[in-house]
Amino acid sequence: MKVYEFVLNNTHGLHARPAGLFVQACSKFQSSVALHKGDVKVNGKSMLGIMKIAASKGDELKIEIEGADESEALEALKQLIDNNFDE
């Protein structure tokens, strides 16, 4: 299992467009992806789940990835996050 903790820095948080990009990135991999905000855990491949946590700029989030291609999935998600979801 790979775990990555980060602070959300993009201006508008995980609104529809960046949430969609996150889900698309997760869906490219076989591994399961969970996104945590505090005590709330959602499926990273679920748009409704990502929208449910209503992550805003400055929120501390954690990603857990488990599966055969977890390293590749983590690198793809780190790149998306580091690029502030192309905003």
Average pLDDT over residues 72-76: 98
- Is 36 designated active site? no
Tokens 């291609």 sit on residue: 69
Question: Model confidence over 5-48: pLDDT tens digits?
Answer: 999 998 889 999 999 999 999 999 999 999 999 999 999 999 99
pLDDT surpassing 90 at residue 86: no
CA–CA distances in Å: residue 6 to residues 19, 30, 68: 15, 23, 23
Residue 87: predicted pLDDT:
80
User: pLDDT class for 75, splitting at 50, 70, 90?
Assistant: very high
| 2-86 CATH | 3.30.1340.10
Tokens of 78: 């780190």
Residue 40: CA atoms inside 13 Å, Cβ hemisphere, count?
13
Which one from 15, 36, 52, 62 is the annotated catalytic residue?
15
CA distance 54 to 65: 20
Task: Give the global pTM.
Answer: 0.94
